[in-house]
Chains A and B, each alone.
Chain A
Amino acid sequence: MNENLSVFAVFSLLSVLAVGGGAAVLPETKELVVGSYHWLSDDQFRDIYGLGQVVPGPNMLMVIVIGYHVTGFTGALLAFLGFFLPAGAISWAASRVWDHFEGSPWRRSLQQGLAPLVVGLMAAGTISIARTAIDGTLTILIAIGVFAGVYFMKKVNPAILVLGGGLVGLVLLSGTGAGMPPG
């Protein structure tokens, strides 16, 4: 199949599966992009996910970079449209009929039932990134430090903590060949 078409198809599928947001669809994104299609290596996926963390807005905008790696700027555009158009169209349509169900007790059931499912998917997303990102004492310490910073110091911009993690990596790891592609 044409690579551009695959990019659009994969990200459209992920778009409609992204119930509960970006972190919820993260394990499936990695499974498809790294496992099924071999567009990226484990390490590249971790790096690109990291890029998504340091820019503003939704961090799943990193799908643009995945598309770019497959077929250049066309892939970037197709990944963006694929990931955002289907879900966007569904939201747009649903918000117009949603008020119809105002007061339906099933609305609350839907929200209450989906809440723990979304939390489970977010935890699975964390595990999926941790499997490649956590490798040795220093990465464990960085993760614990950022966890504490985000969890306990709500006033601090999380992006600064993530950039801080990058700085620590740069200073302490750049002589070690960490994160380098094999070979």
Chain B
Amino acid sequence: MTSPIPPGTGSADAPAPYAVPRDVPLWSIFLTFLFIGAISFGGGVVAYLRSSLVLQKRWLDEEHFLSALGIAQALPGLNATNMSIIVGDRLRGVAGAIVAFAGMTLPGGTMVLVLGVLYAANAHNPYVNAALVGVGAAAVGMLSAVTLQIGRRQLGEIVNVTIIVVTVLMVSFLHISLVWVLLTVGPVAVFLFRPKKGDAPVERGPGGVS
């Protein structure tokens, strides 16, 4: 399993490797992620992260961003919080990871707790309930749209469609526990996409969902 392109080496005329900034202050990491955490509505966190970290702050180049995103997606946890931890860690180690995570979750966490306390106190208010029925229905529309946006690229391939259908059947209709779904479908799916002899050299960055 040797890499055809050892990381960190480039030919002499290639642009200088993007140096990870060493002197990013912790408060700056915290405020940046606090801002992303406060404005990212509706599951579009990845787009906000890219625009802020790669384009505005220039803390990461595109390649490192995609590699961090690949890790965040392949592992358990939410993309947004995994990304904040990975990027914070690359900038300032454990302390950076902690402040980035805190910034990302503080605005939404505080707001949802306030709403939750108000909701608990108004559980029998007909106006609150009517509004929440509308919000719930709207959430279904949003979830289907996001699922289709992410899954659209996979609908052309029979292997992908089969994995999607089997997963939905197991979870939604046979009510099999997620542990067993991950332990059975996961390895089979990875095996179906196993490396084949004569594959082109591995490209960097995720080939999966975005």
Contact = CB atoms under 8 A, between A and B. Distances in A.
State whether these chains interact.
yes
Interface of A: 15-23, 25, 27-28, 31, 44, 46-62, 64-65, 68-69, 76, 80, 84, 86-88, 90-92, 94-96, 98-99, 101-130, 132-135, 138-140, 142-151, 157-170, 172-181
A75 B126 CA distance: 27
Given A49-B136, A165-B141, A174-B130, A19 B202 contact: no
Contact of A144 (B43, B75, B136, B141): B141
Contacts of A112: 193, 207-208
Q: Is the interface of B mostly helix, strand, loop or mixed?
A: helix
A103 B195 CA distance: 12
Given A51-B115, A62-B112, A178-B130, A22 B78 contact: yes
Interface of B: 1-7, 37-45, 67-68, 70-82, 85-86, 89-90, 94, 97, 101, 104-105, 107-109, 111-113, 115-117, 119-120, 123-124, 126-127, 129-151, 154, 159-161, 163-168, 171-172, 175, 177-179, 181-182, 185-186, 189-195, 199, 201-204, 206-209
Contact of A121 (B144, B167, B202): B167
A4 B151 CA distance: 37
Contacts of B165: 120
Given A56-B39, A59-B43, A64-B112, A134 B140 contact: yes
Contacts of B43: 23, 59, 158
Contact of A91 (B37, B82, B126, B161): B82
11 contacts: A57-B80, A57-B107, A88-B81, A88-B101, A96-B89, A106-B1, A111-B74, A112-B193, A117-B163, A146-B140, A176-B130
A151 B163 contact: no
Given A143-B144, A161-B138, 4 more contacts: A57-B107, A116-B161, A116-B164, A158-B41
